[in-house]
């Protein structure tokens, strides 16, 4: 534990003196390598110290990367400060690529850097007290949420505000057009009901002629009544049942004759 704490203090001092992306990234990589070695050696205390150094280095990387201008390029004096031997005007992506940092990693580090320092130190103190390994996801997730922190970048915040304004405008337009939509729906259903009513009237008007035609086909003549149609249908069903029974009886007789001839 004494050796791990000594290494932790030395790397904290180096991190405090580091002013360029190169130096801070070197400390971050060294801390991660020592953390992996401590884990393989089953030394959780050393692993926690190195994880804290790495988280501090990532936060410092985020602070430095936020100073880089994304669109307009990096000033000559700023490039010289952030990169050893700097001096050319280059974009943020080029500066990060020169030190081996991807834009996604830089974005994660910048999110970590947006946590206020007192809250960040409070999180690390709680990790030491609970003997837990500091973690990026927990720091920017649950811990930041408990303190109601907004860790979005300025670009993301502006984009979200524009999106919210657009949604509000669309909602206002929708609310303003609601009376017109309701009137259109009412007119549509009125036309549907009128069409259904018209079809019903046409069917009722055509019913007597249809009944007369059925009566003529059945030979009922002028004495046809609606009940006559039902009686005729019942008679036809009875005839069909009788014919069906006769056919079945005939089939049974034929079957018996075949059996007798075979015997």
Q: What is the mean pLDDT of the chain?
A: 75
Judge whether residue 48 has pLDDT over 80: yes
Three-class SS state of 147: coil
pLDDT-above-90 percentage for the chain: 8
Q: What is the pLDDT of residues 145-194, one digit of tens each?
A: 766 666 666 666 677 677 787 888 788 888 888 888 888 888 999 999 99
Judge whether residue 114 has pLDDT over 70: yes
Highest mean pLDDT among 8-17, 63-72, 102-111, 157-166: 8-17
Place of tokens 């704490």: 5
The CA distance from 44 to 10, in Å, is: 19
The CA distance from 112 to 132, in Å, is: 18
Q: What is the 3-state secondary structure (H, E, C) of 64-131?
A: HHHCCCCCCCCCHHHHHHHCCCCCCCCCHHHHHHHCCCCHHHHHHHHHHHCCCHHHHHHHHHHHHHHC
Average pLDDT over residues 234-247: 55
The CA distance from 249 to 189, in Å, is: 60
How many residues are listed for the chain in this entry? Answer: 263
Three-class SS state of 107: helix
The CA distance from 114 to 59, in Å, is: 8
Q: How far is CA 241 from the centre of its chain?
A: 65
Three-class SS state of 251: helix
Other Cβ atoms less than 10 A from the Cβ of 81: the count is: 16
Highest mean pLDDT among 87-101, 124-138, 232-246: 124-138
Query: So what's the pLDDT on residue 249?
Result: 55
Q: How confident is the model at residue 40 (pLDDT cuts 50, 70, 90)?
A: very high
Query: So what's the pLDDT on residue 12?
Result: 86
DSSP letter at 20 equals S
pLDDT-above-70 percentage for the chain: 66
């Amino acid at each position: 534990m004494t050796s791990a704490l000594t290494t932790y203090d030395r790397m904290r001092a180096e991190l405090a003196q580091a002013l360029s992306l190169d130096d801070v990234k070197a400390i971050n990589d060294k801390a991660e390598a020592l953390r992996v070695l401590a884990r393989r050696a089953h030394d959780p205390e050393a692993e926690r110290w190195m994880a804290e150094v790495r988280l501090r280095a990532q936060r410092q990387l985020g602070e430095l990367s936020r100073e880089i201008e994304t669109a307009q390029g990096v000033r000559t004096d700023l490039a010289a400060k952030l990169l050893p031997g700097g001096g050319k005007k280059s974009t943020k992506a080029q500066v990060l690529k020169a030190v081996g940092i991807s834009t996604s990693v830089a974005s994660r580090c910048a999110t970590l850097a947006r946590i206020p320092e007192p809250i960040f130190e409070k999180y690390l103190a709680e990790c030491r007290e609970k003997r837990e390994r500091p973690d990026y996801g927990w720091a920017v997730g649950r811990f930041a949420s408990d303190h109601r922190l907004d860790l979005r970048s300025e670009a993301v915040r502006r984009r979200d505000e524009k999106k919210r304004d657009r949604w509000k405008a669309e909602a206002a337009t929708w609310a303003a057009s609601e009376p017109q939509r309701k009137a259109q729906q009412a007119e549509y259903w009125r036309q549907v009901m009128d069409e259904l009513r018209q079809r019903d009237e046409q069917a009722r008007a055509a019913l007597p002629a249809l009944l007369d035609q059925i009566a003529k086909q059945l030979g009922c003549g002028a004495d046809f009544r609606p009940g006559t149609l039902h009686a005729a249908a019942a008679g036809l069903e009875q005839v069909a049942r009788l014919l069906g029974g006769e056919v079945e009886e005939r089939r049974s007789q034929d079957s018996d004759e075949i059996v007798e001839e075979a015997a």
